[in-house]
Structure formats: C-alpha cells, structure tokens
Structure 1
Amino acid sequence: MMIDPIISTAAALALSVIFASAASHKLRHPGWFRRQVQEYELVPGLTVPLVATALPLAELTIAVGLLWSISRPYAAALAFILIAAYTLAIAINLARGRKDIDCGCSGPAMRQPLQPALFARNLLLVVMALCALLPMLDRSLSLHDSFVMIAAGTVLILLYTATDLWLANRPLLLKMSGEK
C-alpha cells in the first residue's frame, strides 16, 4: 500500500512538532520528568535516571528524523513503537487503579491525570505514525501541494493540542458540570 506524499508529509510534520514539544518540556525540566518516570513504577529504581534521559533524546531524534524522506520510515517506526510503549504504560497503571498520577504528556505546567480517554488521543498519534511510515506514491509536487501539506500538518497539530487540552481539563469540566 502506498500513500499520497501530502498525507505522509503532513503527518510527519505534525508528529515532528509533537515529539519536539514533548522532548522540549522533558529536557527543560529533567527533575520533573525523572519523577514522572518513577511515578509510573515500570522500571527499576536504578534505571529511572537513564530512562528519563533516554526518552526525550529518543523523542528529539524521532522529531528530526521525520523531517527527511530518507529517515522518515525509520523515525515513523520508532514513533509508533514509542507511542505504543507510552500507551502500554498508561494501560498498566490504569489497570493498577492508579488514575491520580500525572501522565506527563503536557509538561509540568499542566497536570493531566491518567484516564482511558488518553487511548483515543494516542490512536490519533498511531494513525499519524502509520501515515508517515507507509511508502509514498512517486509523483511531482506543486507549490499548491506544499501549501496543503503545511496546512494539513498544522490542522493535525491543532487537533492534537485541542484533544490534549480537553483531556487535561476534563476532570475539572466534569466537576463543574456536576457529573463527577
């Protein structure tokens, strides 16, 4: 199966921005992120600093790798694996009944408790990774195509951001509405 270069590039651009942003808040606040890794209770205590250093570096590598067509398939495959690992970590902690820990998705400025709705957000990321991973049709691109790629990538980023903000504020919105 081959995919149109507009779809692949828009997905790769959006994922690149999302992974760069994720890496940025982890690298700017290493102590906070180390606590996040430790809170998940999925890696032995001695390896927490190593994992907390490796994850944002992997995210940054993915973000850069998605920008070039030659490295895009590898970066998209790594993005898919990392998103799956993050989703598994969330699922394990939800199964343990640990809904009160911060997912670490939005940085230290916006606490986001673990919730099943995060799976829907991660599904969007998985679809984007798959779109970036699939081989592209070989066709020439016009200036209009370039505009559409950038616009579509921007829409994907905005959709992800809106979903992330809604998920972060959902507990407060439910509380305010009297539903929870």
Structure 2
Amino acid sequence: MASTLGSSLGQALGIAGYAAAFGIGTLFLTAGLAKLRSRRVFPGVVANYRLLPPALVGVVATLLPPAEVVIGACLIVGIGPAAIPAAGLLLVFAAAMAVNIRRGRSHIDCGCGRSDLRQTLSGTLVLRNVVLAALLLPTLGQLPSPGSAGWWIGLASGSALYLLTLLVNALAALAKGPLAIERNMR
C-alpha cells in the first residue's frame, strides 16, 4: 500500500513537473524570441533597470535572449535540470523588479518579452516570477516518458499554464494601459 501511494505521488509530481517545464519553457522560448526580434531596443530595457554597470548592459542584452530560448527549449523537451537556470533567472528577474519598485521606479517596462503589450513593474509580476520558479521544483524529479499518458497530461496542463500566464499578463497590462487610465479619469 505504501509503495503504491509513493509510486502514485511520484507519478503525480512527474506530471506536475512536466506541466511546469512545458508551460514555463514555452514562456521562456517565446520571451527570448520576442527579445531577439526587438534586439535594438532591448539594451535600453536592460539599462532602464539601473542595476548593471553600463559596460555589462550590452553583454546581458546580447546573451539573455538566446539563453532564454535554449532554457525554454530544454524545458519543453523535458530536460529537468534546465529548471535550475530557469528558476534562477525568474528569481533574478523578480529581485530586479522588486528593487526598482522599492526605488519608486515601477513605471518602467518589465522587459518580459511582449514589446507589443508594454507592462510596467508591479508586485504581481514579482509574485508571478516567484510562483513560476517554485512550480519548477517537481521538474527536478522523474518526468513522464514522452508519449505516455502522464506526458500528454503534462503537455495539456503545461499548455494551460502558458495560456493562463499570457492571459493574466495581458489583463494586467491592459488594466494599466492608456484606455484604463482615460476611463478612470472620467
């Protein structure tokens, strides 16, 4: 009985791990690709955080997008150890946002990769990144085999996580956008 319960828990954690890996991997992949498409303006976004010496801004702006693409692709295909740099980046991003919010600089763009939907810094974004980093913990365990029922469940759940994150981000950005501000001024 105990081994069956342990096995079931292990399978559930594996499915949750792959769901997180797929959903967050897709976020990293799409964010990295968007930053590559906006590579002329991305150094300005990095510089706007005012956390790096000017000599490192270009280096970070050049290396971060391809790193996000590689980390995202690794997570999507189920390479569990990619969760470590992914969680690390999410926590660094959360810390950078928190520092700027504390400095009173919440008006700057988060640089999350969606240049068509500018999103200013907020405690919600900080919390989002911390939660996403925590969701990656089960990814370090045994993930389901590709093509198995658990893998398909993880894929569907990860897709839902990705879409839900996009929806929440879009709603949060729209709530702070020009139309919302104009509506609140009436």
Contact 1:121 1:164 in 2 (8 A): no
The CA distance in 1 between the partners of 2:145 and 2:151, in whole Å, is 11
Q: Deviations over 1:126-153 (max 9, x none)?
A: 13222323x127x778753333222111
The CA distance in 2 between the partners of 1:149 and 1:174, in whole Å, is 36
Percentage of pairs with the same residue: 33
Q: Deviations over 1:59-109 (max 9, x none)?
A: 11211221344x422x10101110000001001111110121111114221
- Quick one: structure 1 residues 122 and 179, their matched pair in 2 at CA, closer, same or farther if it must change by over 3 Å? farther
The CA distance in 2 between the partners of 1:131 and 1:10, in whole Å, is 10
Match of 2:184 in 1: 178
Match of 2:70 in 1: 61
TM-score where L is the length of structure 1: 0.86
The CA distance in 1 between the partners of 2:120 and 2:96, in whole Å, is 13
The CA distance in 1 between the partners of 2:106 and 2:22, in whole Å, is 32
Contact 1:80 1:126 in 2 (8 A): yes
The CA distance in 2 between the partners of 1:94 and 1:140, in whole Å, is 42
Match of 1:76 in 2: 83
Match of 1:26 in 2: 35
Q: Unaligned stretches of 5+ in structure 2? A: 1-8
| Counterpart secondary structure, 2:176 | helix
The CA distance in 1 between the partners of 2:53 and 2:24, in whole Å, is 30
Alpha-carbon RMSD across the aligned residues, in angstroms, is 2.5
Q: Which has the larger radius of gyration?
A: 2
Match of 1:38 in 2: 47
The CA distance in 1 between the partners of 2:158 and 2:26, in whole Å, is 9
Give the residue type in structure 1 aligned to 2:125.
Answer: L
Match of 1:132 in 2: 139
- Quick one: structure 1 residues 51 and 141, their matched pair in 2 at CA, closer, same or farther if it must change by over 3 Å? closer
Match of 2:114 in 1: 107
